């Protein structure tokens, strides 16, 4: 067993399963997908720590790979089924997209940075993980033309209500992400019903806000 394979197994046994992640499809996906391929140059030693990995960005607007525990718990709550159509918003270098593809879904993942999108495409294509499309798009917009979606995942937090994303859900579809309108932040699932969008809080957490989903600065006199 390679050092990285052992690290993946330790991540699953030491981080994922103790946090009540019981879906064996998710456990297997996290045991098999090589997270070290998705981190930045020189960050491989951080790949299996239970922390967000900062991939860089402009100023306070960072691109990240979310920590494994939050990722796994959100995926479990999303209840992704074989053949689902899934949109991942702010998918960075593609780690969450790879996990979702392992669950048998068809995946569209967005990145607002063309260079990071190109890297995501290269890594995902090299792994041959299935039906994954990488799109360059603002995190506020999603990809309506490729929808509607059974599930939308936010690879980070939002400080605003992502209304344009809600509208891309199928009836009964779910958006799963971290809502940062209050403190502490709340991982939340929002389900589309025939008449509205119903939120359900999952757990408290703290992750970086996705670029474009920050609250507008308050006017100061």
Note whether residue 47 is domain-resident: yes
What would the mean pLDDT of 100-106 be, rounded to a whole number?
A: 97
Q: Nearest CA to 93 among 51, 155, 31?
A: 155
Number of domains in the chain: 1
Note whether residue 218 is domain-resident: no
Alpha-carbon dihedral sign for residues 163, 98, 66, 123:
negative
- CA distance readout (Å), 12 to 95, 99, 179, 204: 15, 13, 25, 21
Note whether residue 213 is domain-resident: no
User: What pLDDT was estimated at residue 1?
Assistant: 67
Note whether residue 189 is domain-resident: yes
SS (H, E, C) 175-201: EEEEECCCCCEEEEEEEECCCCEEEEE
User: What pLDDT was estimated at residue 205?
Assistant: 97
User: What pLDDT was estimated at residue 149?
Assistant: 98
User: What pLDDT was estimated at residue 94?
Assistant: 97
d(CA 91, CA 182): 23
- The domain in which residue 54 lies consists of 3-205
pLDDT confidence of 152, banded at 50, 70, 90? very high
CATH number at residue 136: 3.40.50.150
Q: Give percent of the chain with pLDDT exceeding 70.
A: 95
Averaged confidence pLDDT in the chain: 93
Q: Which residues contact 7 (CB under 8 A, 6 or more apart)?
A: 36, 47, 48
Give the lowest-confidence range in 57-66, 74-83, 94-103, 110-119. Answer: 57-66
The answer on pLDDT for 56 being more than 60 is yes
């Amino acid at each position: 067993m390679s050092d990285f394979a052992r690290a993946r197994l330790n991540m699953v046994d030491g981080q994922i399963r103790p946090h009540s992640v019981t879906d064996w499809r998710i456990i297997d996906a996290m045991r098999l997908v090589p997270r070290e391929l998705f981190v930045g140059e020189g960050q491989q030693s951080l790949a299996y720590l239970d922390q967000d990995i900062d991939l860089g960005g402009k100023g306070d607007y960072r691109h990240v790979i979310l920590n494994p525990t939050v990722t796994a718990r959100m995926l479990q709550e999303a209840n992704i089924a074989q053949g689902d159509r899934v949109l991942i918003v702010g998918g960075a270098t593609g780690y969450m997209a790879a996990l979702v593809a392992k669950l048998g879904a068809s995946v569209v993942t967005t990145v607002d940075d063309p260079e990071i999108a190109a890297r995501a495409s290269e890594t995902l294509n090299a792994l041959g993980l299935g039906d994954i499309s990488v799109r360059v798009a603002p995190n506020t917009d999603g990809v309506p033309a490729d929808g509607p979606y059974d599930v939308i995942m936010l690879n980070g937090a939002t400080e605003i209500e992502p209304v344009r994303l809600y509208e891309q859900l199928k009836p009964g579809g779910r958006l799963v992400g971290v809502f940062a309108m209050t403190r502490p932040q709340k991982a939340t699932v929002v389900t589309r019903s025939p008449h509205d969008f119903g939120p359900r809080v999952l757990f408290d957490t703290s992750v970086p806000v996705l670029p474009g989903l920050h609250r507008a600065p308050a006017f100061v006199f």
